[in-house]
Amino acid sequence: MTQATVQSEQSMTTAKADSQTAGLAPTAKNARDLPKEVLLKWLRDMQLIREFENRTMQAYQQAKIGGFCHIYTGQEAVAVGTIGCVNSDDPVITAYRDHGHALARGMTPEACMAEMFGKITGCAKGKGGSMHMFDRPNWLFGGHGIVSAQTPMGAGFAFATKYEHEVLGKTLEGGEAKKKVTLCYMGDGALDQGAFHEAQNIASLWGLPVIYILENNSYSMGTAIDRHTANHENLIDRAKGYGMIGVKIDGLDIMNIYNEFKPIVDQCREESRPAFIDLKTYRYQGHSMSDPQKYRTKDEVDQYKDRDSIAKLVSDLMEMGYLSEDDWKSTQKALRDEVRAAIDAAESAPVPEDDELFTDVYANPEKNLSPTATYSHGTKNPLM
């Protein structure tokens, strides 16, 4: 067993305590046939993100969090549903609206919140902040702040896993080589960057197993999709132009996401090829915490809230007899407590020591690298 899996299983004992412990995605023809605990875990993770983000907004308003902060509420089914379709050692990379992916991937709420509080117990020791969530044990490679910068990188993880398989004959950690799939998330604003087109071309040309998951919330910051990208109703045609699998999926129903997305994951893994998924979703909050949202109406937001993905899953699970009103209330309360504990822990954690400023700049911090700074090795984050 590799070091990475040992670590990831340890962290999952605190964060992901059940069906995915073995690290393999659960398999069924239809999500409704999945084990009850898998479905309840989805609900729990989605509500964790909802609760976490609501508290993040409060903390931001109390100036406990600085910088740019992008809230994921409304889109929870996407991160939880798609990550629920891959194995725990499949690489994941996303853009700056990344708290949901970090939590869905298994990062502890404490490490995620402490990062935003700029504390040493944050996932990146307070050096990355809201937009840069990294979690090596859980195979989360960021959190990237530049729109679409993550899309060529997504191809690169797929390249590396293919290289492990085909050239090294084992994983870089020395384990048995296996076929992996990389998930690369992007917002609809990233559609318009050249980097994404270069990434698709290379991914398809070289048969790289990467899935580009477009979290299509219809806005590139404040510019509506019909004003920022051409032929926006037919985005999957672009993928087909590159010879990639292209599928449009309703992203507000997690069971639907699983049903349509899981076969694509299996196909990309097996056939070593890329895909592009246009996942229609919606964000309830503004682009960032400083967005007055003049570009959309309250009615529009309310219409989507009527189709809330968590409410939908709750009602499905109740109908299936997997969840009672009382269960749901106690789950919500437990998650409120969990997030409150994360806030408390983040609040009471120490800030980085002053000399942390000069660590982790170089892995090999030789002499004379800087006229003013003396670099040294950083300490390992105990939470990661």
Partner 1 sequence: MTTLPMIETDIHPAVDNPELPDFVAEHELPSREGDRVVQFREALREAMSEEMRRDKRVFLLGEEVAEYNGAYKVSQGMLDEFGPERIIDTPISENGFAGMSISAAMMGLRPIVEFMSWSFSFVAADPILNNAPKMLYMSGGQFGCPIVFRGNDGAGGQLASTHSWCVEALYANVPGLKMAIPSNPYDAKGLLKTAILDPDPVFFLESERMLGDKAHVPEEEYYIPFGRARVAREGDAITLVSFGRPVNFCLEAAEKLAEEGIDVEVLDMRTIRPLDIDSIIASVKKTNQILVVDQSWPFASIASEVVTQICERCFDWLDAPPQRLNTEDVPTPYAKGLEYNYLPNPDRIYDAVKSMVNA
Q: Candidates 23-31, 69-77, 168-176, 324-332: pick the segment binding partner 1 (CB under 8 A).
A: 168-176
Pick from 26, 84, 128, 189: which binds partner 1 (CB under 8 A)? 128
Q: Is 173 among the residues that bind partner 1 (CB under 8 A)?
A: yes
Kindly identify the residues of this chain, within the stretch 246-285, that bind partner 1 according to CB under 8 A.
Answer: none
Asked if 199 touches partner 1 (CB under 8 A), the answer is yes
351 binds partner 1 (CB under 8 A): no
The answer to whether 122 contacts partner 1 (rule: CB under 8 A) is yes
Nearer to partner 1, 24 or 369 (CB): 369
The smaller minimum CB distance to partner 1, of residues 170 and 329, is found at 170
Residue labelled with tokens 């007899």? 321
Residue type, 321: G
Select the residue interacting with partner 1 from 8, 161, 216, 285 (CB under 8 A): 161
Q: Any residues with CB less than 8 A from the CB of 143 and at least 6 apart, and which? A: 94, 96, 98, 102, 128, 131, 132, 133, 134
Question: Under the criterion CB under 8 A, does residue 142 sit at the interface with partner 1?
Answer: yes
How far apart, in whole angstroms, are the C-alpha atoms of residue 178 and residue 171? 8
Residue 136 near partner 1 by CB under 8 A: yes
Nearer to partner 1, 210 or 323 (CB): 210
> Does 201 engage in binding with partner 1 (CB under 8 A)?
yes
Give residues 220-239 in contact with partner 1 (rule: CB under 8 A). Answer: none
Nearest-approach distance from CB 301 to partner 1, in angstroms: 33
Among 62, 292, 299, 367, binds partner 1 (CB under 8 A): 367
Binding region for partner 1 (CB under 8 A) out of 18-26, 101-109, 132-140, 234-242 = 132-140
149 forms part of the interface with partner 1 (CB under 8 A): yes
125 binds partner 1 (CB under 8 A): yes
Three-class secondary structure assignment of the chain? CCHHHHHHHHHHHHHCCCHHHHCCCCCCCCHHHCCHHHHHHHHHHHHHHHHHHHHHHHHHHCCCCCCCCCCCCCCHHHHHHHHCCCCCCCCEEECCCCHHHHHHHCCCHHHHHHHHCCCCCCCCCCCCCCCCCEECCCCEEEECCCCCCHHHHHHHHHHHHHHHHHHHCECCCCCECCCCCEEEEEEHHHHHCHHHHHHHHHHHHCCCCEEEEEEECCEECCEEHHHHCCCHHHHHHHHHHCCCEEEEEECCCHHHHHHHHHHHHHHHHHHCCCEEEEEECCCCCCCCCCCCCCCCCHHHHHHHHCCCHHHHHHHHHHHCCCCCHHHHHHHHHHHHHHHHHHHHHHHHCCCCCHHHHHECCCCCCCCCCCCCCCCECCCCCCCC
Task: Provide the token pair at 102.
Answer: 């970090």
Stretch that binds partner 1, among 18-26, 79-87, 146-154, 240-248 (CB under 8 A): 146-154
Based on the shown chain and the rule CB under 8 A, indicate whether residue 153 belongs to the binding site for partner 1.
yes
Q: Is 106 in the site for partner 1 (CB under 8 A)?
A: no
Return the amino acid letter for 203: A
Q: Taking CB under 8 A as the rule, does residue 177 contact partner 1?
A: no
* In the complex, least distance from residue 302 CB atom to partner 1, rounded to whole angstroms: 37
Block residue for tokens 């044990």: 137
Q: Does 316 bind partner 1 (CB under 8 A)?
A: no
The residue from 163, 234, 270, 297 that contacts partner 1 (CB under 8 A) is 163
Does 298 contact partner 1 by CB under 8 A?
no
> Which residues contact partner 1 by CB under 8 A?
91, 93, 122-128, 132, 134-136, 141-142, 144, 146, 149, 151-157, 159-161, 163, 166-168, 170, 172-174, 194-195, 198-199, 201-202, 205, 359-364, 366-371, 373, 377-381, 384
